Amino acid sequence: MKIKITDFIENVQEGKFNQTSLEISKDDLLQEDLWSLNKAKEQLEKDAADNKLSQVLIHVADAEFEINFYLETGVINLPFDDAKKVTHFFDDDAEVDTKIYLSTACDYLNASKFHIDLISENLPENAEIKYAMDIMKGNYETSVENFNNKEEEKEEK
């Protein structure tokens, strides 16, 4: 889908995008069950067909800490929260193709508590869905490890 940069920023800032929320269990995530990403893919395809931006939130419901994954139709590797910064990379009147990005937000992931990956140059194919799941699982496992290390540090003190 093509979109003008000014339209992209305006739509995101005004909340003019479809937002879908899904919950996944940590067992489904660790077993790499693709149901949540296949559901997300369906929504992304539907929204693209309607020429709408899309954000699919996948929340790990039973994690020991807050961790969320976002699949978004973006124009550059920035989350919707940073849509205003897109003007640093494009002219306002530029028309660009949207891409699919996967963002991970978790206090225990890394120092920035955030990571973003390009998943697809257009709508995700099955291999890209599998790639997204691999990233989600890896980011969750890293967060669990960091969370457990912080708990051990507290106990030692």
pLDDT value of position 152: 74
Structure tokens at 70: 């976002």
User: How many structural domains are present in the chain?
Assistant: 1
pLDDT value of position 153: 74
pLDDT value of position 36: 96
pLDDT value of position 92: 87
Burial class (CB in 10 A: 0-12, 13-18, 19+), 15: exposed
pLDDT value of position 141: 97
pLDDT value of position 150: 83
Q: Which residues of the chain have pLDDT under 70?
A: 155, 157
Distance from CA of residue 117 to its chain's centroid?
A: 8
List % helix, strand, coil for the chain (3-state, nearest 5): 45, 25, 30
Maximum distance among all Cα pairs of the chain, rounded to whole angstroms: 56
pLDDT value of position 157: 61
Distance from CA of residue 89 to its chain's centroid?
A: 20
Q: What ranges make up the beta strands (E) of 33-151?
A: 54-60, 67-74, 95-97, 99-106, 114-120
Structural domain that includes position 150: 1-154
